[in-house]
A and B are shown apart, each in its own frame.
Chain A
C-alpha cells in the first residue's frame, strides 16, 4: 500500500528505478546488436518465386534484439508508467475506473479475436449478436431509438453525430451554419463542429455553473443547427433546466447534441432521450470501463432518436425475422467512418461490463461515483476554493486560486501529488475556472483511498503556505522530473536518428552511470 504520509525522506513507490536511469537514451535502436533476433519464422515450404528487383527496398533499419532483451526493455519501461492498476487516478472527465480483468480475457477468446471482419455474416453470428445486444443495452440506457457502434472514440462519435445532424438538416432543405457550444465544453466539441463545416458560437456559463439561458436565447436563431452540451457538464453539475433548454432549441428548429463523456454520473438514473436530446455519443472506455491503453483504443457509439436513425454511419447490426443477424447500411447513411465495423474488442468488453452489473449495479456505479466526488468536495472545500459551491455529480472542480496567492500554481499542486503517490487531477480545464483542478474519483475507490487523497491535498495546501519551494519544484520522487517542454516544441526531435549526437541535451550532472547489461 502506498504510504501517504507527507515528508521528504520517504521513498516514493515509483522510485524503484534508480534516479540515474538513462533509459531515455537507450532505445531499441541503441540496444540493437547485428545478428540477434527475437523470433524465428518457419522455413519456406514452397519454391521461391522470382523477385521484382526494381521494386525491392535496399535496406530497412529496425532493431535486432533477442527475446529476453525485448521483454526486459518493455517491462522496464512499463514500470515508469502510472496506471489504474498501480494507484488512484482521479483524472477529471476521463473516468479512470477499474478495468475488469475478465473482460480482457473475454475479448481475447479465439472465437472473438480471430474472427475476420470480412467474413460473411453467416459465419459471424456470435460476434454480430454481441453487437446487437450491446446496441439494445445502450438504447435502453440512453432512451434512444437507434444506436451505431462504429465510431472508434468519443471525438469520432461526435464527428459521426454532427455529420448525421448535418445530413438530416440538408435533407430537409435547411441551411443552418452554426453550432452553439457552452464555454465550459471540451475542445473536441468546437473542433468537431468546425470539421463538419459549421461555425462555432460560445454560450456563457452563469454564476451558478448552469447554462446562461438568456445568452442561449439571444443566440438561438434560424442559423443554429445544434446545441452541443455535455451532461452533466464539465463542472460536474447537472443542468436543472435541461428540459427547458431542449424546448428552446427545438422551438428554434435546431437539434440537441449530447456529449455523453460524463455519463458515469447518471447511468441508470436519467436517459438522454427523456431530457430532450436528439443524439448522444457515449465513451465506452469511460462509462463502461474498457482499458484506456495509454490513450486508446476507445469506443464512441452514438444513439439517436428515430428521425436521425436513417442517417447513422454504416454499419449497424440488424436482426431479421428468422433471428439472423446482419450488418446493414441505414437508408440515408452518412457512410462509413472507419475501415470495418468499429472497435469490436472494446465493444465486447463494454457488453461484458454491462452484464456484470445489470441495472441495479449500474445505478450503484453512478451512486458511488457521485458520493465519492461529493465526499472529496466536502473535505477539501474551504482550503481549496470551490467556484461553484453546490453539490456535484461525479466530479468536483476546485480552483487553485487560494494557493496561487502563495506563488504556487495548480500545475505545482498537480506535480506535488505525484510525490504523494497519486495521479494528478485534470488541470486548467474547464477553461472558465481559474487554476482549475478537476477531480473525478469514480466508484472504484473506497473511502480510505478518498481520505488518503484528501489528506495529501490538504498537506500540499499547508506546504504551499509554509514551504512553497518544495511544491514548486515537485515532483521529487518520480522516474523523471519536470521536462523542458519549450525546447521539445521549438526544436522538435520526433524520431530516433542513427547518429551518436542525437541526444539534444548534453548531460550536465555526471553521477554514477548504470552499466548497460547488453553491451
Chain B
C-alpha cells in the first residue's frame, strides 16, 4: 500500500522501472557495497496519523508547562504574550515551506519580510546594518567574537562574567577552532591588553541588571578592541540602544519577540553592526534593488562573504538564517508596533519591581545586587535555593533559576507582562509560607 506522503503507486513505479529498463529498484542501489546494503535496523513501528498524535500528546502531557503552574523563570528565554496574528502568518505554507530565497523573482515574500526584520533590528539596536538572523543569541555572540578577531587581527576574546551561563561555553567552543583565548572578566576588574579583539557584555546582564556601559565601552575603545553588546530586544523598546554607548556589534536573542519557549528552540539570533564592518559580518543579508522593469524588489546581497562563494575564506560557515523565526519576530514587532512594544517593556519593568519590592519585605529575603534592573532580579533567601524551588514547585510555582553558585541562596526571578499582580502576590505568600 502507498504511504500518504509518497504519491507513486505500484503502477507508477512499474512505469518508471520500465522506462529505466529495470525489473527492480534494487539495481539502482548496486553501488552500495553488498555487505553494507540493507542492514538490520531497529526502529519503532510505523504509526498512523491518529496514533502518532496520541503518542506524542502523551509525551507532551508528561511535561509540566509554565501556565499552570505559575512561572517566574527567565534566564535567557522569556514568556511574553504573542498576538494570534503571529502564528497565523508564520503558519502560511508559502512562508513556512519555502527555502532560502535563491530565486528572488519568486521569493519576494521571504526577501521583503527579511528586509523588514533587518530594518526593525536596526531601529531597536541603533546600529547601521543587521543580518537576517543567526541560529540563536549565544551562537550570534560567539560569531560576533570571531568577527572581532577577524577585524582586529587579534586572538584574545574578553567576556564579562555577568553574561548568560551558556555564553562562556559557546564562545569557548567556537574560539577553540582557531585557538583563540577567552578571558572571563569581573565587571569591576576589566583590563584589556593590546591583543584583545573585543569586550563582550550582556546588558541588562544575566542577573537582570544594567552594566556600567560607558566605562566598559571606554575600556574597549582604549584598548582598540570592539565593544560587543548582547541585549534583550524587549528591553531595547524602553532603554537606550547600544549604539548610544559605543557598541560596534549588537547581538541578542529574538525569542522574546513572539517566539514560544519550546524547550529551547528554534529561536533566532540577532546580529547588527556598524556600516563599515558589514563586509566582515556573517550570515545572510537582504538588500533593496529593482527589477528590469524598475519595480522595487529585494535580493540576497553581499554574498561574496559567504561559504558558497568564498568557501574556506568565508566570514563563517553559516548557510542560512532562522528565517521563519525572524518572520515571527517581524510580525510581532509590527503588530505591537512602536507603542505596544514599549508598553510590554514597561509592564515587565513595573511588575518586576513590584515583585522585587514585595519579596524583599519577606523576613530572611533580600536583594543582593544593587543597581537598576529590567524584568529579572536576584533574591537571596534564608534556605538553600534547591529547597526553596522544590517547595514552591509543590505549591504549583516555577519560581526561577538557581544562581546560588554566584549569590548565597540566590534565585533569579523573572516577571513579565504575563504575570498578573495576583500571581506575584501568590508567589510572595507562598515564599512566606515556605520559610515560616
Contact = CB atoms under 8 A, between A and B. Distances in A.
Chains A and B touch each other in the complex, with CB atoms below 8 Å apart:
yes
Interface string B308-321: 11111110111111
Contacts of A439: none
Interface in A368-400: 368, 370-372, 374-375, 378-379, 391, 393
B383 interface: no
A443 B8 contact: yes
B138 A495 contact: no
B239 A57 contact: yes
Contacts of A39: 83, 85, 335-336, 340
A187 B313 CA distance: 10
Interface in A4-55: 14, 19, 21-25, 27-29, 32, 36-42, 44-49, 51-52, 55
B335 A117 contact: no
A28 to B, nearest CB: 5
A313 interface: yes
A89 B101 CA distance: 12
Given A166-B177, A195-B178, A503 B105 contact: no
Interface string A352-378: 101111111110110110111011001
Contacts of A126: 58-63
Nearest to A82: B106
B112 A509 contact: no
A339 interface: yes
Contact of B308 (A46, A57, A83, A187): A187
B3 A42 contact: no
Nearest to A374: B20
Interface residues of B, number: 203
Interface stretch (A218-226, A239-247, A401-409, A461-469): A239-247
Given A102-B52, A118-B75, A483 B8 contact: no
Given A155-B317, A481-B105, A112 B29 contact: no
A interface residue count range (under 10 / 10 to 19 / 20 to 34 / 35 or more): 35 or more
Contact of A80 (B106, B120, B314): B106
22 contacts: A41-B344, A60-B124, A81-B109, A85-B97, A99-B97, A106-B57, A115-B63, A155-B317, A158-B317, A166-B176, A191-B311, A292-B99, A295-B99, A295-B320, A354-B43, A355-B47, A393-B28, A449-B7, A475-B106, A480-B105, A495-B130, A505-B296
B369 interface: no
A423 B47 contact: no
Contacts of A166: 176-177
Given A38-B337, A115-B63, A270-B39, A447 B8 contact: yes
Contacts of B81: 41
Interface stretch (B193-201, B216-224, B278-286): B278-286
Given A444-B5, A483-B292, 4 more contacts: A339-B253, A356-B5, A443-B6, A489-B301
Nearest to A162: B177
Contact of A344 (B95, B174, B262): B262
Interface string A284-316: 000001011111111000000000000001100
A367 B101 CA distance: 29
A322 interface: no
A492 interface: yes
A182 interface: no
B139 A338 contact: yes
B376 to A, nearest CB: 12
A361 B260 CA distance: 32
A78 B70 CA distance: 37
Contact of B264 (A125, A339, A504): A339
Q: Which 3 A-B pairs have the closest CB atoms?
A: A111-B60, A340-B264, A293-B324
Interface in B32-65: 32-33, 35-39, 41-47, 49, 52-53, 55-65
Contacts of B286: 494
Given A293-B323, A483-B297, A496-B115, A79 B109 contact: yes
B388 to A, nearest CB: 13
Given A60-B237, A83-B96, A338-B136, A424 B324 contact: no
A384 to B, nearest CB: 16
Contacts of B135: 152-153, 156, 296, 338
Given A81-B109, A166-B176, A271-B36, A294 B47 contact: no
Contact of B110 (A42, A64, A123, A295): A295
A483 B104 contact: yes
